[in-house]
Structure formats: C-alpha cells, structure tokens
Amino acid sequence: MKITVNRFVSDDESTISNIAIDGQDECFGLEDEYREVKVSAETRIPAGNYKVALRKEGRLHNSYSLRFPKIHRGMLHVLDVPGFQWILIHCGNTEVDTAGCLLVGSSAVTEKGKMSIASSGSAYENFYPQVVDESEAGNLEIEFLDND
C-alpha cells in the first residue's frame, strides 16, 4: 500500500499537499516549509520514498490511545529519513502543530501567510483505519513529491 503526499503550495512557514492512498485522494496535508539546511522541528522532510511503521510508545501514542480508543494501535511513523527522526502522521491545523511531522485535514486554506488545514481529527479518523493494517504488517510506504 502506498500513501502519496503531493506538495502543491508552500510559503515561508508551511507546505500544503494532497494526500492519496493507492491513487485515491483522501485528505490534505500540512507540513513545515522547505529549507536547504534543516532546522530541527521546523523543516519538512526531503522528497522521496519511505517506509511507515507503527510507533507504540511516546507522548502522542499515549494521547491518541485515549483520544481515538476504537482505532488507535500506534502512531504512523515515517522511517529512515536521512537527518530526521520521529516523523509522525498526526492531527493539527497549522505549522505550529507540525514539529516537522505531517498533519492531515479535511480541507485546506492555501493563501500564502495564512496556510492551514481544518477538521484534522475527523480526517485522521478516516485516514488512519485505511492504512494501519498495512503499516503493522510492514507493507506501507509513503512518497513525498515536491510540486510546489
């Protein structure tokens, strides 16, 4: 199974993308901005293909176990990104919420300087169950495309 993150607009703080699962549009994504030199928790990960596994420890895992008790089995964790660690897929609305991770939302504001996503919790509740089994089985990959 493959998640595709098609980055289509960015400014000096944020990046907005379309997220598809096996070619079917699912939701929007929000990440930090592109930087030539990484700034910890303020830089989107490089374009490329990565594996996604479940992380079953940490603050967000514990929080999501309570927030989404019917579906949560671990945080979606993007693996083996050179120079990056603990890259997760989670809820949030603005670049303040990203810390270098990928956020999911049902709608997006793409106006530069005001970029955000909305209905993140409901988008996550729709997105997560579609990919969690494949992630747990070691069969989930994610591709980040720079078209912004």
Question: Which pLDDT value is given to residue 45?
Answer: 95
Question: Which pLDDT value is given to residue 69?
Answer: 98
Question: Which pLDDT value is given to residue 9?
Answer: 98
**Residue 140's CB: how many other CB atoms inside 10 A?**
22
Tens-binned pLDDT, residue by residue, of the chain (148 aa): 999 999 999 999 999 999 999 999 999 999 999 999 899 999 999 999 999 999 999 999 999 999 999 999 999 999 999 999 999 999 999 999 999 999 999 999 999 999 999 999 999 999 999 999 999 999 999 999 999 9
| 29 neighbors 5 (Cβ within 8 angstroms) | yes
| 108 neighbors 30 (Cβ within 8 angstroms) | yes
**Residue 122's CB: how many other CB atoms inside 10 A?**
14
Domains, in order of start, for the chain: 2-146 (2.40.440)
Question: Which pLDDT value is given to residue 22?
Answer: 99
Question: Which pLDDT value is given to residue 54?
Answer: 98
CA–CA distance, 53 with 55 (Å, rounded to integer)? 7
| 50 neighbors 142 (Cβ within 8 angstroms) | yes
Question: Which pLDDT value is given to residue 136?
Answer: 96
